[in-house]
Amino acid sequence: MTRDLLGLLPELCLLAGAACVLLAGLWLPRERQWVVHALATVALLGSAGLALRAAGQGAGAAFDGTYTVDATLHTVRVLAPLATVLVLALSRGVVRGHARETEYATLLLLATLGAVLLAGSGDLLVLAAAYLLASVPLYALAGFGKDAPGTEAALKLALTGALLGIVMLAGTTTLYGLGGATEYQALRTGLAGVPRTAMLAALVAVLAGMLFKAGAVPAHFWVPDATEGSGTGVAAFLTTVPKIGGLAAVYRLVTEAIPGGAGTGILVAVLAAASMTLGNFAAFWQDSVRRLLAYSTISQVGYLLIAPAAAGAALARPALLFYLAGYAVTNLGAFAVVAAYRRAERRTDYTGLFRHDPLLALALVVCLLGLVGTPPTAVFLGKLTVFAAGLDAGLGWLVVLAVLNTVASVFYYLRWIGKLFSSTASGAVVAGADGWARASAVLLAGLTVLLGVGGGVLLRV
């Protein structure tokens, strides 16, 4: 028991951090609430540090194999807390002095813990519990602003999450009935001789919950409205951290719980094709920058799902993990620019940004070209490795479709970039940028390029 708990020190650090932040916020006066954000940052950085230390100790399992500690979990343990630190930084200007500043940090910590637990789940019941922990704090975060768009975002997020959570539990029950176990390795053995159609139907139901967390088709309906209606920091979190945990959980589920050759590859490939195509085409004529980024995240999930679809290929897992890291940095960088100019909600509001604030404009250009997959950015390398894994697994048609989608996506990203270089600046960008968000955007744009240039070293580790 003690050994199992020691193996979960990064997760326990997040949990203890959430409790400390909540208790400290109850006693601190309003003008000193910044302390809770400092405590939350320390907890997140501490969790990431403990995860790096644990990564040097190799793979293992905790609590009788119901929680798997391996390279996938190590990566998510580092990525999710660091992404949340950046969300705290880019939303600092909005939540500073807010009456619910403590609750904001506490909910972010709990949602991050849920995303990490999703990635490590080696048992259907642990997966269901992690899903709830990763979902419920998001409903409150989406409505944090207590305005009409935020209320609508929270309502749609909560209803969709509840519906797909029930579908996921129904699938869990069916898989247990078919395989006679909930722990992944035992379930894989139990499912070996059952009818394939019944097994795939139950798997689709379980995947519904994970696709909701990732924002993939057909569980994507909440993404545009929640991204547009919630605060920019919350939108950045919604489209990044739960996606990391959800996609890691999809990969673990299809590779460890379902027998090989059961048809899961083609099932996930179809979901990938639908996500990337719908996301890209829906983004084409969006004028709201948040809705454009929302549909962009749906398309990115499509590319990322190629890795679980190609689970038999040697490159599949490293490609997925590296792509997740590159996507997190690039997506948060784009949202940081949006957070810097809170009044700039439409593409036209960014007219002339380069003349007014060239550094921030260049940061946005780097992030948007990064989302396209232009070298030498991190997403370019991530896409390249994911496409290679897809070809290795015999999914040539899916890779061709992904390349065509990538070319098509250039259109709507360039429509936004073109506005930046106009000779006149709009009032929204002349008003001045938020300092924390501006610094985060520049830092993340630099990281995008750095990861793209040095990513080959990480992929060889």
First CA to last CA across the chain, in angstroms?
31
**What are the contacts of 344-347 at 24+ separation with CB within 8 A?**
344/289, 344/426, 344/428, 344/429, 345/288, 345/289, 345/290, 345/428, 346/287, 346/288, 346/289, 347/287, 347/289, 347/292, 347/415, 347/416, 347/419
DSSP for 213-251 reads HHT-TTS-THHHHHHHHS-HHHHHHHTTHHHHHHHHHHH
Among residues 351, 339, 332, the alpha carbon closest in space to that of 428 is found at 351
Structure confidence at residue 461 (pLDDT): 64
Say how far apart CA 371 and CA 410 lie, in whole Å. 9
Rounded Cα gap, residues 342 and 46, in angstroms: 31
Q: Which of 244, 449, 426, 285 is nearest to 366 (CA)?
A: 449
Token pair, residue 197, equals: 């159609």
pLDDT of residue 2: 67
CB 243, CB 134: distance < 8 Å: no
Report field, pTM of the whole predicted structure over 0.85: yes
Backbone angles phi, psi at 396, to 5 degrees: -60, -40
Per-residue pLDDT of the chain (461 residues), as tens digits, is 667 778 899 999 999 999 999 999 888 887 788 899 999 999 999 999 999 999 888 778 888 889 999 999 999 999 999 999 999 998 888 888 777 889 999 999 999 999 999 999 999 999 999 999 999 999 999 988 888 888 999 999 999 999 999 999 999 999 999 999 999 999 999 998 889 899 999 999 999 999 999 999 999 999 999 999 998 999 999 999 999 999 999 999 999 999 877 689 999 999 999 999 999 999 998 999 999 999 999 999 999 999 999 988 899 999 999 999 999 999 999 999 999 988 888 999 999 999 889 999 999 999 999 999 999 999 999 999 999 999 999 999 999 999 999 999 999 999 999 999 987 777 777 777 788 899 999 999 999 999 999 877 777 76
The pLDDT score that the predictor gives to residue 124 is 96
Q: Using CA atoms, how far apart are residues 3 and 62, in angstroms rounded to an integer?
A: 8
Sequence-separated (6 or more) residues with CB below 8 Å from residue 112: 14, 44, 80, 81, 84, 241
